[in-house]
Structure 1
Amino acid sequence: MNNLNGFLSVIDGYIGGSDWFVYLLLGTGLFFTLYLKFPQFRYLKHALRIVRGKFDREGDVGDTSHFQALTTALSGTVGTGNIAGVALAIHLGGPAALFWMLVTAMLGMTTKFVEVTLSHKYREKTDDGTMAGGPMYYMKNRLNLKWLAVIFAVATVFSSFGTGSLPQVNSISNSMFTTFGINKVLTGAVLALLLGFVIIGGIKRIAKVTSRLVPLMAFIYLTGALAVILYNYENIVPSFIAIFRDVLTGTAAVGGFLGAGFSFAFNRGVNRGLFSNEAGQGSAPIAHAAARAHEPVSEGLVALLEPFIDTIIICMLTGLVILSSGVWTEKIDNRFQNADMQILASQYDDGQQEDREDLHDFLLGRKDLPLFSGDLEVIGGVIQDEVTVLHARSVAEHVTVLSGEMLYSGTVTVQNGTPVNQGPVAFQGKSLIHSAPLTTFAFTKSWLGNRGSYIVAIGLLLFAFSTAISWSYYGDRAVTFLFGSKAVFYYRVVYVLGFFLASFTDTTIIWTFSGITIALMTIPNLIGILLLRKEMKSEVKSFWQEYAVRFPGEKVPVD
């Protein structure tokens, strides 16, 4: 597992984790924001009216309403990115990462408007009578770049696992185990059966389920989040200050948090922002292609709302919960994940300034520290060698080694700082935590106490499960494009099986794979919409001309 995670991390470093990918993503959003004259602000009220059916026309072709398309796409984006992804971004980059998530969302509103409009224009009706669309169709039908369309479709199939299936159930099973002690395998098995039942019904059943789940899950989660923020009201202003103060400098070490540089906060904030709202990834256009609409821009305006709801509202609330509660710098008792561990060959004290600086530079890749290799001697659960155990980018305290639930005595083989072939042996102690467990712990810091964790568990269950449902549809549309409708059944079987297996797989590996698949989808889509920039501007102009004719008394944006 460690070798696999290391291999995937190297790949991620060249694409999703690289600076050039971040610049391509933000640069595309910034370009269209300026090119189309800030549509995310000027068109917002019109987008709300279209969702309510104002621009609908009798005989519009499609399988779902505007609202159902919006909730289906939202259910695909509002998921672990809003709960686990925000926590991971803050854990890696400090409060400043939240700022870059918000910037990504603001620019992403325009990007999503563009990609949905172009994809909706070139959608097709499949052999089974349903609508199929997405970036692969404008790549094939308009750009005449079928090879690019194939690359995107293949990436979509992989990303349906990397974004929609694996991290979602992994976060659910971890949360259910932490909160209720429910076995991860049992959680995976039950949810896999439910998932199979829903996705067999296709887009119409998916749309009905998600249109009910999304409002319910949003209400439950937002109520719990506000309870934490108001309970810690004295930390609200300091939290906002931290978000904006550290934007250009990075975050200094505080508590168990060893600090983060600017580039790491910037990269992780943008990367997790993309995972949260998927603007530019090309996934939402697949859901919106099913909407009943005669004018592509109208559906693009509906999609413009998604990053606003998903990231600017929900992710911001999650971030304030974590920051105001103070748990992001607090070491918590937990059982360590192997892929998150490093064992140093010397002892370091994070209470000493010099040691903190050395550890900070080590975690940022600026300095090498000696890694332990050899056999660790353990007696009664206590490590006898003079080493430092790092877990979740923090110095672990009160570390004990267990075999099952019993204190372990013997040796543990370590290679380059990582335990190998340790069988049932596990490490536990106090360290920072991240992803869903961090958000879960933050929700206990309110009047609800430990019962607040139930909100995260239930919210995550609904959020993540609905995301898995929506992404199964994205994947089956990609499979339809590649192999035809008959191949969809086999894809769904593999999708459900992968969903089950990920419920008890190492979290760190899941998230690393996720970052790779996101980038593989996003890159060809961004290239495609940039090539069609002039057509996009023409579509917007013709839409507002039609809108003005249909509603002569209403003021429309002037380009």
Structure 2
Amino acid sequence: MDLLNLFAAETGILKSIDEIVWGIPLLSLLVGTGIYLTLSLGFIQIFKLPLALRYVVKPNISDRKYTGDISSFAALMTALAATIGTGNIVGVATAIKIGGPGALFWMWLAAFFGMATKYAESMLAVKYRNIDENGQMSGGPMYYITKGLAGKFYARPLAAFFAFSGIGVAFFGIGIFPQVNAIADSAAITFNVPPIYTAAVVTVLVALVTIGGIKSIARVAQVVVPFMAITYVLGCLLIIFTNLDMLPDTIRLIITSAFTQTAATGGFLGASMLLAVQMGIARGVFSNESGLGSAPIAAAAAKVKEPARQGLISMTGTFFDTIIVCTMTGIVLVMTGSWTSEYEGAYMTSYAFSTGLENVGAYIVGIGLIFFAFTTILGWNYYGERCVEFLVGVKGILPYKIVYILLVGGGVFLTLETIWILADIVNALMVIPNLIALLALRKVIVNETRKYFEGLEKEN
């Protein structure tokens, strides 16, 4: 009983910290930065999205000759491997369970402005990237802070704080615990496998892939991510089209709930508008990582000449992740009424799919979540590795990988509530230095973008 009381007290402390860090100031900074970049870049996420999608499906062959570790497409898939995961399935379920259907609307809003943020941070990552002692590309906020803000007294401490926070997110946030917990839950729900066995298998598989580095991770991501994302979205669309007459009411409920208090119903306890905003934006960041500064680390490894080109390619990651995959999950959860059930997390989404697709629904969620979460673990292993390299050099990479692999098995022993609160807190610590850097480098972002598009116009 004493242990239970101690655990409850610690969870209460974490909740209090979570409410502080994801309060109005950080929400305003996150969305405000996205709005500022959207206006400064001329709504790039709208007018240049077709061009960005064209870059994704039709790579520039000449880019292969430029310095980098992997192709632009592989860099995008690595970033998507780290983002398309529990945030899209469990995160959306958690957001709607706590904040109501309106949380999905705020996820959309955060994602829309987040696309401009993702463009900016990934573009800067390529512009200011570095080559480490092993000949690998290193880039991301820690490098565009130190290089872009060189001479500023706060540059090195800010970059170090980001890198330290990045390791924290890899260990205790998005990287390990939510993913392993989700895989264990999915294996238990779908195949009745005990969590401890699942943890052991995942640990071994992560070790086998991550020892090979970014190229090994990218090879896995390029195969698994597109296939599973398409399969999952098709499953969602099948449920939606089967219940097409309910779609207008579902959309209406999502939008109205975003601006009003959601009344308690079924297993749902009710939520205020502020709670919907907090859950929508916090879970949106967990899902698409716009503003987090993680995707730029993968973007920096791309074989590409123009920083803005990779920025555009990376921007599509937020579009695919939230505007498409999270939307599909959210609509299914609301449409099937599972958001008012007694279930939560992976169980809630599995229940929704089982309701919508009786015979195969649970398998789509279960198998999809296992693969999504596994690739997220791989992607965040690389992000944490680059942060370690920045702080202590290449000598710290192997010890980091050993600790990372050992921690993989720990996610099955924590409660879902503790995992998500802890993840939110360390995410916030990573967001703050990155957003400060983006605002400080705003002129570089605008000038680099203008120069790129002026060059395209001359070519045409």
Give the Cα separation in 2 of the matches to 1:232 and 1:47: 33
Deviation at 1:223, TM superposition (A): 2.2
Partners of 1:229 and 1:325 within 8 A in 2: no
Give the Cα separation in 1 of the matches to 2:306 and 2:245: 49
Deviation at 1:269, TM superposition (A): 0.6
Could you tell me which residue of structure 2 aligns to residue 481 of structure 1? Answer: 390
Give the Cα separation in 2 of the matches to 1:251 and 1:208: 44
Please give the root-mean-square deviation of Cα atoms over the aligned residues, in Å.
1.3
- Which residue identity does 1:159 align to in structure 2? V
Give the Cα separation in 2 of the matches to 1:112 and 1:58: 23
- Which residue identity does 1:39 align to in structure 2? I
- Which residue identity does 1:443 align to in structure 2? F
- Which residue identity does 2:236 align to in structure 1? A
Specify whether residues 328 and 546 from structure 1 end up closer, same or farther in structure 2 by C-alpha distance, changes over 3 A only: same
Deviation at 1:263, TM superposition (A): 0.5
Higher helix proportion (structure 1 or 2): 2
Question: 4+ residue stretches of structure 1 with deviation over 6 A?
Answer: none
Q: Point out the structure with max Rg over C-alpha.
A: 1
- Which residue identity does 1:148 align to in structure 2? L
- Which residue identity does 1:37 align to in structure 2? G
Could you tell me which residue of structure 2 aligns to residue 152 of structure 1? Answer: 162
Could you tell me which residue of structure 2 aligns to residue 268 of structure 1? Answer: 279
- Which residue identity does 1:274 align to in structure 2? V
Deviation at 1:225, TM superposition (A): 1.4
Partners of 1:84 and 1:436 within 8 A in 2: yes
- Which residue identity does 1:452 align to in structure 2? G
Deviation at 1:13, TM superposition (A): 1.7
Could you tell me which residue of structure 2 aligns to residue 433 of structure 1? Answer: 343
- Which residue identity does 1:151 align to in structure 2? F
Matches within 5 A, 1:391-430: none
1:502 aligns with 2:411: yes
Deviation at 1:463, TM superposition (A): 0.5
Could you tell me which residue of structure 1 aligns to residue 370 of structure 2? Answer: 461
Deviation at 1:172, TM superposition (A): 1.0
Determine helix, strand or coil for the equivalent of 1:445: helix
- Provide TM-score, normalisation by structure 2: 0.95
- Provide TM-score, normalisation by structure 1: 0.78
Could you tell me which residue of structure 2 aligns to residue 405 of structure 1? Answer: none
Determine helix, strand or coil for the equivalent of 2:355: coil
Give the Cα separation in 2 of the matches to 1:175 and 1:478: 30
Could you tell me which residue of structure 2 aligns to residue 84 of structure 1? Answer: 90
Give the Cα separation in 1 of the matches to 2:63 and 2:134: 24
1:187 aligns with 2:187: no
Deviation at 1:258, TM superposition (A): 2.8
Deviations 1:127-149 (A, max 9, x none): 00110000000111121311100
Specify whether residues 137 and 229 from structure 1 end up closer, same or farther in structure 2 by C-alpha distance, changes over 3 A only: same
Deviation at 1:58, TM superposition (A): 5.8
Could you tell me which residue of structure 1 aligns to residue 220 of structure 2? Answer: 209
Could you tell me which residue of structure 1 aligns to residue 3 of structure 2? Answer: none
1:35 aligns with 2:40: yes
Specify whether residues 251 and 55 from structure 1 end up closer, same or farther in structure 2 by C-alpha distance, changes over 3 A only: farther
Determine helix, strand or coil for the equivalent of 2:252: helix
Aligned pair partner of 1:50 in 55, 61, 78: 55
Could you tell me which residue of structure 2 aligns to residue 61 of structure 1? Answer: 67
Deviations 1:282-319 (A, max 9, x none): 00000000001111111101011011100000000000
- Which residue identity does 2:435 align to in structure 1? L
Give the Cα separation in 2 of the matches to 1:175 and 1:54: 39
Give the Cα separation in 1 of the matches to 2:10 and 2:183: 23
Deviations 1:353-386 (A, max 9, x none): xxxxxxxxxxxxxxxxxxxxxxxxxxxxxxxxxx
Q: Which runs of 5+ in 2 are unaligned?
A: 1-6
Matches within 5 A, 1:75-474: 75-144=81-150, 145-161=155-171, 162-330=173-341, 432-446=342-356, 448-474=357-383
Deviations 1:457-478 (A, max 9, x none): 1000010000010000000000
Partners of 2:64 and 2:71 within 8 A in 1: no
Q: How many residues are treated as equivalent by the alignment?
A: 448
Could you tell me which residue of structure 2 aligns to residue 22 of structure 1? Answer: 27
Give the Cα separation in 1 of the matches to 2:11 and 2:70: 40
Determine helix, strand or coil for the equivalent of 1:492: helix
Q: Percent identity?
A: 44
- Which residue identity does 1:160 align to in structure 2? A
Could you tell me which residue of structure 1 aligns to residue 4 of structure 2? Answer: none
Partners of 1:228 and 1:445 within 8 A in 2: no
Higher strand proportion (structure 1 or 2): 1
Deviation at 1:233, TM superposition (A): 2.7
Determine helix, strand or coil for the equivalent of 1:443: helix
Determine helix, strand or coil for the equivalent of 1:170: helix
Higher relative CO (Cα under 8 Å, sequence separation at least 6) belongs to 2
1:9 aligns with 2:35: no
Deviation at 1:450, TM superposition (A): 4.9
- Which residue identity does 2:223 align to in structure 1? R
Partners of 1:173 and 1:184 within 8 A in 2: yes
- Which residue identity does 1:519 align to in structure 2? A
Deviation at 1:259, TM superposition (A): 1.6
Give the Cα separation in 1 of the matches to 2:176 and 2:80: 16
Partners of 1:26 and 1:107 within 8 A in 2: yes
Q: Which runs of 5+ in 1 are unaligned?
A: 331-431, 553-559
Deviations 1:514-548 (A, max 9, x none): 00111000000000010011111110111112223
- Which residue identity does 2:428 align to in structure 1? A
Give the Cα separation in 2 of the matches to 1:529 and 1:173: 37
Partners of 1:116 and 1:284 within 8 A in 2: yes
Partners of 1:68 and 1:207 within 8 A in 2: yes
